[in-house]
A and B are shown apart, each in its own frame.
Chain A
Amino acid sequence: MTCENIHDFANKFLDKDITEQELAELEVHLEFCRNCNRTFGSYKKLSFELNNIESVITPPASILEQLIVDLQSTGISETSIDDRKKGETEEKKSRPVDKKPEKKDKIKPEELLFSSKQEIFWKRHKLKILIAILAFLFCAVATIYFILFYSKSTSPWQIIGYSGKYYFSEQKNSANNLYLNQKLITDVNSHVIIAIPKLGKINLGPLSEIQLVNDKENESGISLYKGKVEVSTFTQNKHFSVETMNAKFTENLTNFSVEQKNTGITHIEVTSGLLLIQSSKEFFTLSAKYSCDIITKKSYNIPFRVDGNPQFISALKELDSGNNTSEIIAQIAANAKESDAITLWHLLKRVSKNYRILIFNKLNEFFPIPQKVTKDGIIALDNKMLQIWQDDIISRL
């Protein structure tokens, strides 16, 4: 062979029409001729590609749709149905008992068209439909999980330690468990420690009375009728609250104590974390070391830090008792430290407009007003601005 007839050899090879003699000749030639080797290689590559060529392609959906319509309108169905009926009667003669296959055949052309169109719709929108179903299922599962998780009841709560005597309002199964809506009362000189499942614990002081009012995992709570509770928690995602006749205290990874005094005053002290105080009139947040007396549902004394300057604290008490002279205000302003920011913030609302500027300047020194808050707005006691400033102070304290 020569280089000129490499194509003939290649074609014979592709047609599987090559003799052994020719194949041997070809092999010898290819060993010496790079060009022909390359050419022959390209034919082999073509042959390989042909072996792997697709035999099916996804056709446009319109073909099937139109075909269904055309089959319908050609009128072939009628003649064919007639043919079929003929066939059926013939079959009936020969096999009168076996009726099942005939029934199967009795599909009306309209039904056929309908079902086919449905199939087309399904095929076209398969992915969309599947995604929609999956999204729906996901939402459903998430909702169910959410409901189960957050409405999960955690009661009864276990009493994990005590000294002295304690009583339940009504006796249930176990003397060691506090059930929903059940009251627990302690005696003189007695203490009870109750575990709040997955959240922390309550230490109930002497001559106290509490009721378990909410045992949901995410927002459990007790009512404190009298006496004192100390609460310590170790998780941030669930919230526990103590409610007294004056206010509701909701913790967020907080250690705090609440004392409901016989005078009607509720005394609170925050050891660590943040405590949200909600009374019927307003709500505010206290940070660590702050203490506050809630007098009634609508009034409270100015909160202050328990480790603050004694002169500062006594001046505040003067102010709470109605002595709002300029000397007292001046004394407060002079002794205020950065850590007293929450006290100063509450003072803004307690003092007259003239003194308010003084307090504003002092607080602004420690915690400059954030954006969206103006001096005029604060002096005019704009609630929104006060709130923004408070949030800002607490986040930075």
Chain B
Amino acid sequence: MGSSDSKYIINLIASAQKGNKNSFLQLVELNLGNIYLLSLRLLNDQKLASEITKEIFIHTWQNLKQIRSDTSFSSWLHGIAIYKNLELIKKRKSDKSGRGSLESSKPTYINKKLEYHLSELDEEERITFVLHDIVGYSYGEISDLLSDYTKESIIEFIHSARKKLAKEFENDL
């Protein structure tokens, strides 16, 4: 169990590992809003974000015993979440014949300016920006995850994303 988790979380994990669903559901409730928001930002699709969030927690439940002792529960969960999300994005890319077929369930209720412009970015820019500037992954970690791209192109995506977003805030100054 995670070194940085509180005793409460550690007890919940221990109890959930023994099969107590109630404890696991408490862990779910504590992290649901966070994981859902992360998925929403990565996928830019409400329906898919709901589905993947559910899948992430089922995967977590099935693999609870594999939790490592050197990471916190939340970063372990984030790892699963990002892995699952990227897997889905890859699948979506290869499935999609024409762009924009899934745009229908784009999140509409995020009213903050940053979230809105984030959703307007190109997919590569959005994903890399979310992973680096919001989740806090390093360029190297991201290039490990996105094996299709070189570290340089990832940096380029992020810089391009920043440039576009910063441009949107220029008028607010």
A residues whose Cβ falls under 8 Å from a Cβ of B: 7, 10-11, 14, 38-39, 41-43, 45-46, 49-50, 53-60, 62-64, 66-68, 70-71, 74, 76-77, 80-81, 83-84, 87, 105, 107, 109, 112, 115-116
Contacts and interface: CB of A to CB of B under 8 A. Distances in A.
Task: Please name the 7 residue pairs, one residue from A and one from B, whose CB atoms are nearest each other, closest first.
Answer: A80-B19, A56-B33, A59-B36, A84-B19, A42-B166, A42-B170, A45-B169
Contacts of A66: 54
A50 B133 contact: yes
Contacts of A68: 25
Interface in B13-39: 15, 18-22, 24-25, 28-29, 32-34, 36-37
Contact of B53 (A38, A63, A77): A63
Contacts of A71: 21, 24-25, 58, 61
Contact of A56 (B22, B37, B133, B170): B37
B4 interface: no
Given A64-B28, A74-B58, A59 B53 contact: yes
Contacts of A56: 33-34, 37
Interface stretch (B79-87, B141-149, B157-165): B157-165
Interface string B50-75: 10011001100110000000000000
Given A59-B32, A64-B32, 17 more contacts: A7-B163, A41-B173, A43-B162, A43-B166, A45-B169, A53-B114, A53-B115, A55-B34, A57-B110, A58-B33, A60-B46, A64-B25, A67-B25, A81-B19, A84-B20, A107-B20, A116-B25
A109 B54 CA distance: 19
29 contacts: A7-B163, A10-B162, A10-B166, A11-B159, A42-B168, A42-B170, A42-B173, A45-B172, A46-B114, A46-B169, A49-B169, A53-B114, A53-B115, A56-B33, A57-B40, A59-B36, A60-B50, A63-B32, A64-B25, A64-B28, A64-B32, A67-B58, A76-B61, A76-B62, A80-B18, A83-B18, A87-B18, A105-B15, A115-B22
A54 B37 contact: yes
Q: Which of A14, A57, A71, A105 has the most CB of B within 10 A?
A: A57
A63 B54 CA distance: 6
Contacts, number: 118
Given A71-B61, A105-B15, A63 B50 contact: yes
Interface residues of B, number: 43
Interface of B: 15, 18-22, 24-25, 28-29, 32-34, 36-37, 40, 46, 50, 53-54, 57-58, 61-62, 110, 112-115, 133-134, 158-159, 162-163, 165-170, 172-173
Contacts of A7: 159, 163
Contacts of A74: 58, 62
A74 B165 CA distance: 43
